[in-house]
Amino acid sequence: MGAGVLIVTSFLAVGREGLETALFLWTTAQAAGESAGPLTGAAIGLVLSAALCWGLYRRVLKINLTRFFTATGVVLIVIAAGVLGYGLRDLQEGGVLPGKAAYAVDLSGSVDGSSWYSTLVQGVFNVTPAMTWLQVVGYVGYLAVVMTLFVRGARAAAPKPAAEKPSPAPDAPRSARRRPAWVVPVAVVTVPAVIAGLAVAFGRPKPAAAQTIAVSGKECGKGFSAPKPGRQTFQMHNTGGKTSEVYLVDPATGAVYGEVEGLAPGTTRALVATIAGGTYAWRCVPTGGTAVTSKADRVTGGGSTKAVVPVSAKDLASPLQQYKTYVNQGLTTLVTQTHTLAADIKGKHLDRARTDWLTAH
């Protein structure tokens, strides 16, 4: 269709990837609560891609495009298998497909899902520490079928030699023999599984232990030490004799970053909050008791987080009065419509009664 269409197609492809990259960086920074890490990773990726492009255009790097696209095709098939598994899991969680709790693999107790290597594997291949049987069957089945077809297609499209070479002798080296088509799919599935098994067996990394915070009228906030910025999980343990509410607050403004309600004596529940640079304190409110606020701790670092500023009864007075006025007006209208309906029925005007009933209803 001409060079113009090729230019437009290239422009749209690059524009789409650029927009997608910008959105990914934005959401990553928002989820992490800070921008230094995501921007550092983005800068490294951009520098590497610029260096590769420079090398290609300057002919410093010479790539066999047939082999290059064959290799990247294999990688894309693995990624597609992960996307299929991810989609199946979403359908299970949505109740469309069964087997939501039938796990074939569950390494969540041995693999830290928030570690950098686990995040990398999940982000690229959509392989999670816990996978259901449906996910595993879909993942492996897709790889086995599509990878075999892809390898066969790549071999069929490979250029034929000018002269037919004689078949290798029985004692010829293994590299001279034709490799079966199933070798690549099996290797793609087996090698990562073996590496993951070795990592679990020898590394056995444990998730970072959450801080345990005491909740009571006498020990409110005991055990808290200023953490690093980011998403944190605190284990709130009620050491008192009364059911309590506990809040993570900004002591200067009273703004709430997280809360746990109805924490019974002797029980422990998790409080998840995103921590950024600032001052934090714990506020414990026993049932029928007086609120106690712990000493303030300062967290250093960047990032941003949102807090909810509590409202007082005075703040609610005006909205409450507006709501009462609205309800009274509605009730007045309803009473009038009900009297009209009653008069219709009393006068045996059934057609009008049906219409007036629908209005009042």
The domain segmentation of the chain, as residue ranges, is 1-45, 63-157+180-205, 211-299, 317-360
Flag whether the pTM goes above 0.75: no
**Which residue reads 């999940």 in tokens?**
122
Give, for all 361 residues of the chain, the pLDDT tens digit: 888 999 999 999 999 988 998 898 888 887 776 788 888 988 998 899 889 888 888 877 777 888 888 989 999 999 999 999 989 999 998 889 998 888 888 886 677 766 778 888 888 888 888 889 999 999 999 999 999 999 988 888 776 665 555 555 555 555 446 667 667 666 766 776 677 667 656 654 444 467 899 999 888 999 998 888 888 889 999 999 899 999 999 998 889 999 999 999 989 999 988 888 889 999 999 998 899 999 999 888 777 788 888 888 889 999 999 999 999 999 999 999 999 999 999 999 999 999 999 988 8
Per-residue confidence (pLDDT) for residue 167, from 0 to 100? 58
What is the distance between the terminal CA atoms of the chain, rounded to a whole angstrom? 64
The answer to whether 220 and 292 have CB atoms below 8 angstroms apart is yes
Q: What Rg do the C-alpha atoms of the chain give, in angstroms?
A: 32
User: Rounded CA gap, 217 and 232, in Å?
Assistant: 24
CATH number of 211-299: 2.60.40
Closest of 300, 261, 312, 306 to residue 283, by C-alpha: 261
Per-residue confidence (pLDDT) for residue 148, from 0 to 100? 93
DSSP annotation of 111: S
* Tokens standing for residue 263: 């924490």
The answer to whether 20 and 262 have CB atoms below 8 angstroms apart is no
